[in-house]
Amino acid sequence: ARLGAEMRAGLDRGEFHLVYQPIVELPHGRVASVESLIRWRHPVRGHVGPDRFIPVAERNGLIVELGEWILRTACAQYMTWLRDGVAPDRIGVNVSARQLAEPGFVDLVAAVLAETGMDPGHLIVEVTETAVFGGGAAVRTVHDLTALGVDIALDDFGTGHSSLGLLQTLPVSILKVDKSFVDNVTMAGRHAVIATSLIQVAHGLGLVAVAEGVETAEQAAELYRLGYRRAQGYHFGRPAEAPANAGYGRHRA
């Protein structure tokens, strides 16, 4: 309860900020998009990770207001990059289960796009398998977002319920293959087998697969050999604050 109350105050005091991590094209490394990730600098506790406070915000409902702030901030930053001529093609925003099931969520997205003047084609909403597994409101939201022209990415794929059936019925266009499969991709074994089958499933269904958590050149090379054309991870760039005037697009090789 304490952390929840402190989040409420922290939001008012501007203690939250977003960082952005590039998603690159393999093999050359051109930045295709960025993912926004939230950070909290607590005046006393120091850095508190989203793994800790997002679940709290989901439980106490603050995720609705926090999520709105995240979406607005990310879209506004994207438009700044666009005006400066340095925007990547797209920006991804993580959306949690409760936000996705919230009745007003699609209207909020439409309002933020209108307010910022952002074309829906530049926005990717990242959802987890678990958030959409039960069907219901979250699944309807995914359909409605797609109808708006927003793309959906299935995040952390392979770690949740991992229903391949979801891929058949949900209008998803990006599959983010979880870091756990990428970690050991250079060694013959179970992880490599799964990383290999997931790229085949993705391409067979006409989806873009993104390998997450790539930390070494060896992993990147092996992923490319397996057919991956998009990757994200410390090897290419850590999540970082938006430079005042520069985005990612044309400044990078």
* Residues binding ligand G (CB under 6 A): 21, 37-38, 49-51, 54, 70, 94-96, 126, 155-156, 212-215, 232-234, 239
Task: State the nearest-atom distance from the C-beta of 234 to Mn ion, in Å.
Answer: 15
Using CB under 5 A, pick the residue from 6, 68, 102, 126 that binds Mn ion: 126
Measured from the CB atom, the residue of 8 and 245 that comes closer to ligand G is 8
Among candidate residues 163, 179, 164, the one with its CA nearest the CA of residue 234: 179
Q: Which of 66-74, 110-118, 128-136, 153-161 is the region at the interface with Mn ion (rule: CB under 5 A)?
A: 153-161
Cβ burial 73-99 (10 Å sphere, 16+ → b, else e): bbbebbbbbbeeebbbebbbbbbbbbb
Q: Decide which of Na ion, Mn ion, ligand G, none touches 131; Cβ closer than 5 to 8 Å per partner kind.
A: none
Which tokens hold the place of 36?
A: 């926004």
Q: Rule CB under 5 A: is residue 156 a binding residue for Na ion?
A: yes
Task: State the nearest-atom distance from the C-beta of 212 to ligand G, in Å.
Answer: 5
The Cα–Cα gap between 242 and 252 comes to: 14
Q: Rule CB under 5 A: is residue 155 a binding residue for Na ion?
A: yes
Q: Rule CB under 5 A: is residue 178 a binding residue for Mn ion?
A: no
Which tokens hold the place of 188?
A: 């013959």
The Cα–Cα gap between 128 and 149 comes to: 19
